[in-house]
Amino acid sequence: MTISEEELDSKIRACFMADSLSSTSVQTILARGKKAKEIHDRAWWRPWLPVAAAAAFVMLVSFQIGKRYDISQFATKVAGEIAMRHNGVRPFDIEASSFDGVQNGLKDLAFSVTPHLKQGLLSAYEVVGARYCYLEGQQGVHMRVRNRSTGVLCTLYIASLNGSLKELKASDREVHLPANDVTLWEDGDRLFALVE
């Protein structure tokens, strides 16, 4: 008995169809595959996102606390340098009786010595003399001033707020040192310091 090719195909198809999965089983398998694909396609870093955010927050807070501490420590260092020069005996380059006199006498200054802020405070002092100096690598002027009410010689220090001195922007403060009190303030692009 010979079977035709068509009959053979039909019997093979019937055999395979009898062993096929039900449509419910096929849907279950497809659903599992879809879920596995979603898990596989999910970004590997998503579970770590909250941990990374918390670590970034801790670092930012630590940096800000450290920066505040460093600025305070830096201000104390700068105030110490100014107080050391206040207590020194180096001669002054010019004698002057006003801020304009200092500006005219120290022609190589790259900034104005005339204050815009705290003019009331500085009107209580009489200019006596000045000299060129540097503070943290920035050009400055060391002025000798006399307190009009007490007659005590004081130092008014002015430097351009560039380089590392930029850290002292907007940080008006009074620094108490063992020998002197130094008042620091920003005036435009300059740092002013008064040592009594």
Strands of 138-147's sheet in order across: 94-95, 125-135, 138-147, 153-160, 190-195, 181-187, 173-176
| Confidence at residue 169, expressed as pLDDT on a 0 to 100 scale | 73
Token couple for 96:
């002057």
| Confidence at residue 18, expressed as pLDDT on a 0 to 100 scale | 65
> Over its length of 196 residues, how does the chain's per-residue pLDDT go in tens digits?
677 888 877 877 777 666 666 778 768 877 777 776 666 666 666 666 777 777 777 777 666 665 555 667 777 787 778 877 777 777 888 888 888 889 898 888 888 888 877 777 778 889 998 989 888 888 889 989 999 899 998 889 888 888 777 777 776 778 778 888 888 888 888 888 888 8
Distance separating alpha carbons of residues 114 and 158, to the nearest angstrom: 10
CB 83 within 8 A of CB 178: no
Cα→Cα distances 157→2, 36, 170, 186, 195, Å: 117, 71, 17, 12, 8
Of the candidates 133, 189, 137, the residue with the CA atom closest to the CA atom of residue 156: 133
| Confidence at residue 15, expressed as pLDDT on a 0 to 100 scale | 72
Of the candidates 141, 74, 79, the residue with the CA atom closest to the CA atom of residue 104: 141
Distance separating alpha carbons of residues 135 and 145, to the nearest angstrom: 19
What's 29's DSSP letter?
H
Distance separating alpha carbons of residues 194 and 127, to the nearest angstrom: 13
